[in-house]
């Protein structure tokens, strides 16, 4: 299965992508994770990207598109993939379409997670992430057993710099002005399926699993 997860920041893309990729043995590519890794490793791409990420703006298309297309070109064709946080502009979607056509791996489905603003704000302000393994927690909805410590690897939990309220607002504006149009883009290609990002993690996971089955994708 070759899939894109679309939705505003806080829709739960990263959380669903992790569990779905595990269940269906998919290659999970998240541009946000790849960029944060580059920032952490202080690479040239990382320091360029950080300027945009700290402001809640999008990193230029060429940088993120290259990160993804390089990895897709090197991927096992039979495995399938799940893209989370990419594409985020029509330009990126067009680059992706061309790259996948060249590789003979067109998309099967784009899942759009429709999410209400109240849920988004509550999720993002309470989100915490393990610095070592990347597991995602929430202070109220999904707390770790010991405060500030990852259940899986005992790593330190941290709050992303761009999960502070002012940057969250900017990221939501950027989603409205630059990413939301991808819903129409993929609808016109008959690839779009909507699901509710407001649902609790396990409920949404079950709905998406049922959807893939219904569409004969899994
Ligand atoms: P995310 O983890 O998906 O919320 O992404 C965090 C930040 O990384 C975003 O606010 C952007 O600054 C940057 N970013 C992630 N994915 C993309 C993308 N596809 N295009 C441009 N910037 C991106």
Cα(34) to centroid(ligand 1), Å: 9
pTM for the model: 0.93
Structural domain boundaries in the chain: 2-115+176-214
Residues labelled catalytic: 13, 88, 127, 160, 171
pLDDT digits (tens, 9 = 90+) for 123-135: 999 999 999 999 9
User: CA–CA distance from 143 to each of 138, 150, 158, 165 (Å)?
Assistant: 5, 9, 13, 20
Cα(6) to centroid(ligand 1), Å: 12
Of the candidates 163, 162, 173, the one whose C-alpha atom is nearest the C-alpha of residue 139 is: 163
Find the Cα–Cα–Cα–Cα dihedral 126, 179, 33, 115, rounded to 10°.
30
Q: Does 3.40.50.300 match the CATH number of domain 2-115+176-214?
A: yes
> Is the C-beta atom of 7 inside 6 A of ligand 1?
no
pLDDT of residue 143: 96
Question: CB under 8 Å to 81, separation ≥6 — which residues?
Answer: 2, 3, 26, 27, 28, 29, 72, 75
pLDDT of residue 165: 86
Cα(167) to centroid(ligand 1), Å: 12
Instruction: Mark the ranges of the chain whose per-residue pLDDT is less than 50.
Output: none
pLDDT digits (tens, 9 = 90+) for 3-48: 999 999 999 999 999 999 999 999 999 999 999 999 999 999 999 9
pLDDT of residue 166: 87
pLDDT of residue 146: 97
Q: What residue owns the CA closest to ligand 1's atom 5?
A: 32
């Amino acid at each position: 299965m070759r899939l894109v997860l679309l939705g505003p920041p806080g829709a739960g893309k990263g959380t669903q992508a992790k569990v779905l990729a595990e269940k269906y043995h998919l290659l999970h590519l998240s541009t946000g994770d790849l960029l944060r890794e580059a920032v952490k490793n202080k690479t040239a791409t990382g320091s360029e990207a950080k300027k945009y990420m700290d402001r809640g703006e999008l990193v230029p298309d060429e940088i993120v598109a290259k990160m993804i297309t390089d990895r897709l070109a090197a991927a096992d064709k039979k495995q399938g993939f799940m893209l989370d946080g990419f594409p985020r502009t029509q330009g990126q979607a067009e680059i992706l379409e061309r790259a996948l056509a060249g590789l003979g791996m067109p998309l099967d489905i784009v899942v759009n997670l429709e999410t209400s603003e109240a849920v988004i704000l509550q999720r993002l302000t309470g989100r915490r992430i393990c610095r070592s393994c990347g597991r995602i927690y929430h202070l109220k909805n999904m707390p770790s057993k010991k405060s500030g410590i990852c259940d899986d690897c005992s790593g330190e939990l941290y709050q992303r710099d761009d999960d502070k309220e002012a940057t969250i607002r900017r990221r939501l504006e950027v989603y409205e002005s630059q990413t939301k149009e991808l819903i129409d883009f993929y609808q016109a290609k008959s690839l779009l399926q909507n699901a509710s990002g407001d649902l609790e993690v396990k409920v949404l996971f079950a709905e998406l699993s049922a959807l893939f089955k219904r569409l004969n994708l899994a």
